[in-house]
Amino acid sequence: MPSATLHGGFDIVAAQSKESSNSPARILLVDDNRNGLVARRSVLEELGYQITATTDPEEALKLFESTCFDLLITDYKMPNLDGVELIRRVRQSKRDIPIVLISGFADTLGLTEQGTGSDAVIQKSSNEVTHLIRAVSRLLKKKAPKKPARGASSTATRARAKGVS
């Protein structure tokens, strides 16, 4: 049964993983727009992620002190503390956490990963959900050890057999 919590004056439901016995990835979602928060939360919960959401970026910083998250998704334009400043503060203590920045101004303002400190910047648009799902999936994947390229090892073996080094 999902559990309900309250953050920033907003009722949150944490989803349980549907597909595996492993614990679901924990995502902190920050957006001052309640409608956007509800929509993104619903999509991500449907995919089995455990979502904690807040409308208050200051509350998000407090949550980071007390809870371990696997990913942060934040809006750019919020009162009192914008998404870039939130990212900067989070990076001071949790440098390795993947972060997605969402903004209706990403293209207009030229927001980039390098300029914002995020790992992905998504423009709010009709394609936002698709881009968000892909970014979350990509950022949460654990990197598997790389295997040598098939062609490279067989080429090296043939070169050694011919006495070429």
CATH of the domain at 49: 3.40.50.2300
More confident residue, 59 or 11: 59
For 96-145, write each residue's pLDDT tens digit. 899 999 999 898 888 999 999 999 999 999 999 999 999 999 999 953 34
Whether 14 has a pLDDT exceeding 90, the answer reads: no
For 18-55, write each residue's pLDDT tens digit. 334 478 999 999 999 999 999 999 999 999 999 999 99
Q: What is the pTM of this model?
A: 0.74
Q: Are strands 71-75 and 99-103 parallel, antiparallel or unpaired?
A: parallel
Q: What's the whole-number mean pLDDT along residues 150-159?
A: 48
CA neighbor of 102 nearest in space, from 134, 70, 125:
125
Q: Which two tokens stand for residue 23?
A: 């614990």
Task: Tell me how many domains the chain contains.
Answer: 1
Q: What pLDDT band is residue 162 in, cutting at 50, 70 and 90?
A: low
More confident residue, 157 or 28: 28
Which domain covers residue 43, as residue numbers? 3-161
Return d(Cα 58, Cα 101) in angstroms, integer.
16
Burial of 46 (0-12, 13-18, 19+ CB in 10 A): exposed
